[in-house]
Amino acid sequence: MSPEHMTLQQFRELPRAELAEEMEQLLVSQFRATLLMDDAEELPLDISYFDLGLTSLKLTEMRRTLEGILDLSINANVLFNEPTVGRLLDYLVDAVSDPSHAVTGAIPSTN
């Protein structure tokens, strides 16, 4: 099953290493699509979103997309406090694997 079609509960049931792999696949896929990158281009995980070419508007759209896929509410500040794909990946893996982490910005959606 592709990460875009997994539920929050399915993500949470994965061992942490698999969760990180699935989450990375999801983030890379979403960021590459938003940045209009082709399959041959590698998405650097350690470069700022803005240096990659994202605008605040696109970043907000990305947040909404991720919220819908992950069924999490992600505080906008998280994207600015975790300004690279790699740091966002680490944050989301923590938020999904440890629901108590939700207090700091990612909480299960009520939808």
For residue range 21-50, list pLDDT tens digits in order: 999 999 999 999 999 999 889 999 999 999
For residue range 44-91, list pLDDT tens digits in order: 999 999 999 999 999 999 999 999 988 888 988 888 888 999 999 999
Dihedral angle sign, alpha carbons of residues 18, 24, 30, 32: negative
- Joined tokens for residue 46: 């350690």
CA separation for the pair 78, 2 (Å, rounded): 25
pLDDT at 101: 56
CA separation for the pair 61, 43 (Å, rounded): 18
